[in-house]
Structure 1
Amino acid sequence: MPRPRTTETADRIRAAALELIAEKGVQQTSLREIAERVGITKPALYYHFASREELVRSLVRPLIDDVEAMLAAADAESGPRALLGAYFDVTYRNRHITQMIMRDLSVLALVDLTTAVATWRGRLVELLIGKDPTLAQQARAWMAIGGMDDCTAGFRDVPKEALREAVLDAALATLGR
């Protein structure tokens, strides 16, 4: 039987880690458990990921890359619904990562995701309501964006399109639009 390619093994490690961490949390999931789930040795896991932090970083990287690409392509002229729709699509596509983070908030500190999230939200707020928003406008925008994140992770059994419409309507209502 041919040996799996290195990237296939790393993908299997990430999938097992994401599942276990979402279920138990980062600190309660051992690298040995992850290796056993994949069917490899712990040293083999270390061949692919030098540390727990590196592994967790690789788990959140797709979310970071997707949000940054969405923000790079974002245009305030397209309107709030289109902008929020693009953000919803990114967060929905990566909801398993958000679910993992919500299960264990230490992930935020472990990979310094808090800074990235604050930067994203600041950029989204600027795109949604301009450069000099009032405190009330900022609060509504942060609530709308954070609520979208929570909804994409929390409503697991709702079909995507139904959830998308409900979430966009609620976010726009929160913004007062």
Structure 2
Amino acid sequence: MNARMLLPVLALLLAACAGPDRIVLLPDSDGKVGKLNVSNAGGETLLDSAYATASAKGDRKADAGRTDAGTVNQQFGVVLAALPPAPVSYTLYFTSDTDELTADSRALAPAILAKIAKFPAAEVVVIGHTDTQGSDDYNDKLSLDRARAVKRQLIALGFDAARISVAGRGKRELMIVTKDDVAEPRNRRAEVLVR
């Protein structure tokens, strides 16, 4: 599961000294859910649907069960409300050989960046990328320039510069895998991760 898929799954583990360990698999805000394998000396129990539960005590295999949103909210609402907001990510695209956003991304950027700027305590990581045209050194520099361009826009909106880190990945982490010297617009991007 990659970093983007970590958020759709929230496993809530609450253990009491005298009682069994209880795990509840919660859906993300879009209703999507991943899978969780609960394993101990007694065996494995797979949770793969929203509100699936596993309860285990000692070395016995975990008992599978189900609960619902109302029960989870009633029992664990205080804990869930105390959790920090789930990380979010956005992708902005750039024109070839520049750190200038495409027209579509230029149109979306103000709303995205304003949304991010409303979370002054958040940490933001901006990762720039390129397509496979050009040398490794050129693409490393261009990808970092793209990340820095997004950082400047966030700072202009009032976001604390100390809470923004940038990185350039050049052509090492392609969204669309291509051979060298291929102009693939979807690879010319910056990923903005807010956590």
TM-score (norm 1): 0.31
Say which structure, 1 or 2, has more relative contact order (CA 8 Å, 6+ apart): 1
The structure with the larger Rg is: 2
Greater fraction helix? 1
Greater fraction strand? 2
